[in-house]
């Protein structure tokens, strides 16, 4: 009875087009934002903020980026980490080389730089699809990291290729504490996630999905394949680029090109597979899952089995669980955790009278 | 027929289309007049679908000319055809399977929407007003085709007959001048066919939409068409009023003959 839409009549198409047409969902969402935007930074300890919540938000943003490209526009990419690298190093160089560069502007420019590179590597998608496109994005992954290593200019000639992110300061306020960095990350991710949700529920999103589902029919309706696909590459890479810059500036602080390797690209791909392909909510669920699972296992395994199984066991178990889950979701529930959540809500709507 | 056909709006002259060694169309000339229902009939593989694909730019014929409203068209891409007001449905349903009925039909409005992706990202002001305005138009079509109850259903879950209807809705959402329908009644039962016939006639009547129809059911074709063209092995073997075609000895021999 708690979760019911009975009696909530929509009297206009504007109301019907809302992100959360059901009142309970709107209330729940507002609470969620208050918890993560206000309560968490006030109450959570440093470990949680630094090692869990901030990276979850950043990976969610990258996963939204990949989801736009792969989940909505149907173009498989294995190069997400490389676009994060472009964002991270672009932000670093903008702040380094432009006097008085405001941080938020650097963040936006980092996203735009990644978008530009994304469009460049999206060009092959006009001729090739599926597996072959994935291979082309794989080439992007290796090529971009190679370029960043090969030309020391990008890392300001630091001997090891490692760069240290400058201090973040907005309007004179320095974001040094974990709480401040978390709040900044939260705000950026919240705004961009809302924008992504708006994109995918409007004509832009419909164009992406049309091209994904049936490209000939999409063309016959009047969509231009080139424009639609390249826009998906641009927006997707923008999100990955901003995520990469946040990764450097509000999460780990020092980055090197090889840190943005294929492993990271796969990690982001797994996030959208587990969280839900073609879902903004899924990007958050998938990111949280993939950040939390290893931590959970690290704590759980010794507690359950003691030291008997050895140190390597937890990490092997982690791989086995990931592998199993990915196969499960690919075969049984391609829409991932987000879909499971939706099913749970539908059940709840009928509860306790299932007829 | 009460309907008044107008000027020639699509004029195909000496069209030949080959796929490697396969001659899909050989030296075909035919025209479509404004406001008429123009049917294309012929056995499987005769080249009917290829004709529609030539008209809306999916296939590019090796030879021949296409005039659209008196203007010679150079190489035409499907989105140009869409911009000229040509919409179509496909023989094998080509809906966007991952989307709801409503979203599928909304895609049909794409060319009439003006906001850019940055406005969509804000979803406020102009973008929201535009979305609502087009939703209103789409709701009209939903009502016209009597599919209100399935608006929010993902199209993949619908039975075949309803999918065909949604595909028609998507085409109508573009408010086309010319509607190309590739076997819209194939695989339907009698009742569904009657509904579909009624919709086609209504569209033609109310909006004056020109319709090019591929259909196997001779009863339907002879009933609702203004003019009929007959294809066989990629060649045109008959063209004219339904009664003329029905009694044409060539047509009877090549095509109708088998069925009668
Ligand atoms: N895209 C294509 N590639 C190769 N051959 C094709 C293609 N489209 C149609 N054809 C061939 O052209 C001929 C006519 O096909 P089609 O226009 O689909 O006939 P109909 O719609 O009358 O059944 C057939 O021999 C078919 O195999
Ligand atoms: Mg056909």
Strand B178-182 relative to strand B210-214: parallel, antiparallel, unpaired?
A: parallel
Q: What is residue B1's predicted lDDT score, i.e. its pLDDT?
A: 45
Residue among A247, A215, A216 nearest A229 (CA): A215
What's the pLDDT tens digit per position in B171-190?
Answer: 999 999 999 999 999 989 99
Residue among A189, A187, A181 nearest A65 (CA): A189
Interface test with chain A among B117, B141, B167, by most A beta carbons within 10 Å: B117
Give the whole-angstrom CA distance, residue A338 versus residue B103.
20
**Do residue A198 and residue B120 have CB atoms under 8 angstroms apart?**
yes
In short, whether B24's Cβ falls inside 6 Å of ligand 1 is yes
Going by alpha carbons, the residue nearest to atom 4 of ligand 1 is B19
Question: Could you identify the atom of ligand 1 that is nearest to the CA of residue B53?
Answer: 17
Residues in Cβ contact with A123 at an 8 Å cutoff, skipping those fewer than 6 apart: A230
Ligand 1: residue of B23, B40, B47 to mutate (most ligand atoms within 8 A of CB) is: B47
Q: What is residue A15's predicted lDDT score, i.e. its pLDDT?
A: 82
Strand B22-33 relative to strand A173-175: parallel, antiparallel, unpaired?
A: unpaired
Q: What is residue B149's predicted lDDT score, i.e. its pLDDT?
A: 95
Separation of CA B124 and ligand 1 centre (Å): 46
- Can you list the domains of chain B with their CATH numbers? 1-85+176-260 (3.40.50.300), 97-173 (no CATH)
Which tokens in the block code for residue B164? 């065909």
- B111 contact A CB<8A: yes
The domain limits of chain A are 44-350
Q: Which residues from chain A sit within 8 angstroms of residue B174, using beta carbons?
A: 221-222
Q: What angle is formed at CA A33 by the lines to CA A28 and CA A37, rounded to 5 degrees? A: 155
Inter-chain Cβ pairs, chain A and chain B, closer than 8 A: 109
In short, whether B47's Cβ falls inside 6 Å of ligand 1 is yes
Question: Could you identify the atom of ligand 1 that is nearest to the CA of residue B91?
Answer: 21
Task: Decide: helix, strand or coil at residue A50.
Answer: helix
Distance (Å) from the alpha carbon of B239 to chain A's nearest alpha carbon: 27
Q: What is residue B3's predicted lDDT score, i.e. its pLDDT?
A: 53
**Residue labelled with tokens 């930074």:** A41
- CB distance B220 to B189 below 8 Å: no
Going by alpha carbons, the residue nearest to atom 5 of ligand 1 is B19
Secondary structure (DSSP) of B175-242: --SEEEEESTTTT--HHHHHHHHHHHHHHHHHH--EEEEE---HHHHHHH-SEEEEEETTEEEEEE-H
Closest partner residue to B121 (CB to CB) among A14, A198, A224 is: A198
Give the whole-angstrom CA distance, residue A24 versus residue A29.
8
Secondary structure (DSSP) of B3-45: SPP-SEEEEEEEEEEEETTEEEEEEEEEEEETT-EEEEE-STT
- A226 contact B CB<8A: no
Q: What is residue A83's predicted lDDT score, i.e. its pLDDT?
A: 98
Going by alpha carbons, the residue nearest to atom 25 of ligand 1 is B45
Task: Decide: helix, strand or coil at residue B63.
Answer: strand
Average per-residue pLDDT for chain B: 93
pTM for the whole structure: 0.94
Q: Sign (positive/negative) of CA torsion A9, B107, B134, B88?
A: negative
Give the whole-angstrom CA distance, residue B82 versus residue B176.
8
Q: What is residue B46's predicted lDDT score, i.e. its pLDDT?
A: 95
Q: Is the pLDDT score of B260 beyond 50?
A: no
Residues in Cβ contact with B234 at an 8 Å cutoff, skipping those fewer than 6 apart: B17, B23, B24, B25, B26, B28, B46, B47, B50
**Do residue B131 and residue A224 have CB atoms under 8 angstroms apart?**
no
Q: What is residue B259's predicted lDDT score, i.e. its pLDDT?
A: 46
Ligand 1: residue of B21, B50, B184, B230 to mutate (most ligand atoms within 8 A of CB) is: B50
Q: Which residues from chain B sit within 8 angstroms of residue A13, using beta carbons?
A: 131-132, 135-136, 139
- A4 contact B CB<8A: no
Separation of CA B17 and ligand 1 centre (Å): 10
By C-alpha distance, the chain A residue nearest B172 is A221
| DSSP conformational letter for B64 | E
What's the pLDDT tens digit per position in A151-194?
Answer: 999 999 998 889 999 999 999 999 999 999 999 999 999 999 99
Secondary structure (DSSP) of A178-239: HHHHHHHHHHHHHHHHHHHHHHHTSHHHHHHHHHHH-HHHHHHHT--HHHHHHHHHHHHHHH
Q: Which residues from chain B sit within 8 angstroms of residue A218, using beta carbons?
A: 96, 107
Q: Which residues from chain A sit within 8 angstroms of residue B117, using beta carbons?
A: 199, 204, 231, 235
By C-alpha distance, the chain B residue nearest A227 is B117
**Do residue B115 and residue A212 have CB atoms under 8 angstroms apart?**
no
Q: Sign (positive/negative) of CA torsion B243, B249, B254, B259?
A: positive
**Do residue A214 and residue B139 have CB atoms under 8 angstroms apart?**
no
The complex scores an ipTM of 0.94
Distance (Å) from the alpha carbon of B84 to chain A's nearest alpha carbon: 10
Q: What is residue B2's predicted lDDT score, i.e. its pLDDT?
A: 43
Which tokens in the block code for residue A2? 């708690």
Residue among A282, A267, A350 nearest A67 (CA): A282
CATH topology of domain A44-350: ABC transporter involved in vitamin B12 uptake, BtuC (1.10.3470)
Helical axes A262-275 vs A336-350, angle rounded to 10°: 20
Which tokens in the block code for residue A94? 């903008």
Ligand nearest to the CA of B21: 1
By C-alpha distance, the chain B residue nearest A235 is B117
Q: Over its length of 355 residues, how does chain A's per-residue pLDDT go in tens digits? A: 567 666 777 778 888 888 888 888 888 899 999 999 999 999 999 999 999 999 999 999 999 999 999 999 999 999 999 999 999 999 999 999 999 999 999 999 999 999 999 999 999 998 888 889 999 999 999 999 999 999 999 999 998 889 999 999 999 999 999 999 999 999 999 999 999 999 999 999 999 999 999 999 999 999 999 999 999 999 999 999 999 999 999 999 999 999 999 999 999 999 999 999 999 999 999 999 999 988 888 887 777 777 666 667 777 888 888 889 889 888 888 888 988 888 888 787 777 666 5
- B99 contact A CB<8A: yes
Q: Is the pLDDT score of B14 beyond 90?
A: yes
Give the whole-angstrom CA distance, residue A155 versus residue B177.
59
Q: Which residues from chain B sit within 8 angstroms of residue A202, using beta carbons?
A: 115, 120, 123, 127, 131
By C-alpha distance, the chain A residue nearest B52 is A220
Q: Is the pLDDT score of B34 beyond 60?
A: yes
Q: Is the pLDDT score of B159 beyond 60?
A: yes
Which B residues, 122 through 161, put their C-beta within 8 Å of a C-beta on chain A? 122-123, 127-128, 131-132, 135-136, 139
**Do residue A213 and residue B97 have CB atoms under 8 angstroms apart?**
yes
Residue among A276, A266, A267, A261 nearest A335 (CA): A276
Please count the residues of chain B. 260
């Amino acid at each position: 009875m708690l979760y019911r839409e009975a009696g909530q009549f929509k009297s206009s198409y504007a109301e019907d087009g809302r992100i959360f047409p059901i009142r309970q969902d709107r209330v729940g969402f507002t609470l969620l934002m208050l918890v993560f935007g206000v309560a968490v930074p006030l109450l959570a300890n440093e470990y949680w903020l630094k090692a869990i919540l901030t990276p979850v938000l950043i990976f969610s943003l990258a996963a939204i980026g990949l989801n736009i490209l792969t989940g909505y526009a149907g173009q498989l990419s294995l190069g997400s980490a490389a676009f994060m690298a472009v964002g991270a190093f672009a932000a670093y160089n903008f702040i380094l080389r432009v006097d008085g560069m405001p941080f938020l502007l650097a963040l936006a420019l980092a996203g735009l730089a990644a978008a530009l590179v994304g469009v460049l590597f999206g060009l092959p998608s006009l001729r090739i699809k599926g597996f072959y496109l994935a291979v082309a994005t794989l080439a992007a992954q290796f090529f971009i990291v190679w370029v960043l290593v090969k030309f020391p200019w990008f890392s300001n000639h630091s001997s090891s290729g490692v760069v240290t992110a400058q201090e973040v300061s907005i309007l004179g306020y320095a974001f040094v504490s974990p709480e401040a960095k978390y709040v900044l990350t939260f705000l950026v991710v919240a705004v961009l996630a809302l924008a992504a949700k708006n994109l995918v529920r409007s004509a832009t999103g419909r164009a992406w999905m049309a091209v994904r589902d049936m490209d000939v029919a999409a063309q016959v309706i009047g969509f231009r394949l080139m424009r639609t696909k390249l826009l998906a590459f641009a927006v997707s890479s923008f999100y990955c680029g901003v995520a990469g810059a946040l990764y450097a500036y509000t999460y780990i602080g020092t980055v090197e090109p090889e840190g943005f390797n294929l492993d990271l690209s796969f990690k982001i791909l797994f996030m959208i597979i587990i969280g839900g392909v073609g879902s903004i909510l899924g990007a958050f669920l998938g990111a949280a899952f993939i950040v939390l699972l290893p931590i959970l296992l690290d704590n759980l395994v010794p507690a359950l089995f003691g030291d008997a199984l050895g140190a390597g066991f937890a990490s092997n178990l982690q791989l086995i669980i990931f592998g199993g889950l990915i196969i499960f979701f690919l075969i049984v529930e391609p829409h991932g955790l987000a879909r499971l959540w939706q099913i749970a809500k539908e059940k709840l709507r009928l509860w306790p009278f299932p007829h | 027929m009460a309907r008044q056909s107008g000027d020639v709006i699509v004029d195909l002259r000496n069209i030949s289309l080959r796929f490697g060694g396969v001659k899909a169309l050989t030296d075909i000339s035919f025209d479509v007049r404004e406001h008429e229902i123009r049917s294309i009939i012929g056995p499987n593989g005769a080249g009917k679908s290829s004709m529609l694909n030539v008209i809306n730019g999916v296939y590019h014929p090796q030879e021949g000319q296409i005039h659209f409203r008196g203007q010679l068209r150079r190489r035409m891409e499907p989105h140009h055809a869409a911009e000229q007001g040509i919409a179509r449905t496909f023989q094998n349903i080509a809906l966007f399977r991952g989307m709801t009925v409503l979203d599928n039909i909304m895609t049909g409005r794409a060319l009439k929407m003006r906001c850019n992706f940055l406005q969509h990202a804000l979803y406020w002001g102009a973008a929201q007003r535009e979305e609502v305005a087009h939703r209103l138009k789409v709701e009209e079509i939903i009502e016209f085709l009597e599919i209100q109850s399935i608006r929010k259903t993902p199209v993949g879950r619908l039975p075949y007959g309803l999918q065909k209807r949604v595909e028609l809705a998507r085409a109508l959402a573009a408010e086309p001048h010319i509607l190309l329908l590739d076997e819209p009644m194939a695989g339907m039962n009698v009742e569904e066919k009657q509904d579909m016939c009624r919709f086609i006639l209504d569209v033609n009547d109310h909006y004056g939409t020109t319709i090019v129809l591929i259909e196997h059911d001779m009863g339907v074709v002879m009933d609702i068409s203004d003019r009929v063209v007959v294809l066989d092995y990629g060649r045109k073997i008959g063209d004219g009023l339904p009664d003329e075609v029905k009694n044409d000895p060539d047509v009877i021999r090549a095509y109708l003959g088998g069925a009668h």
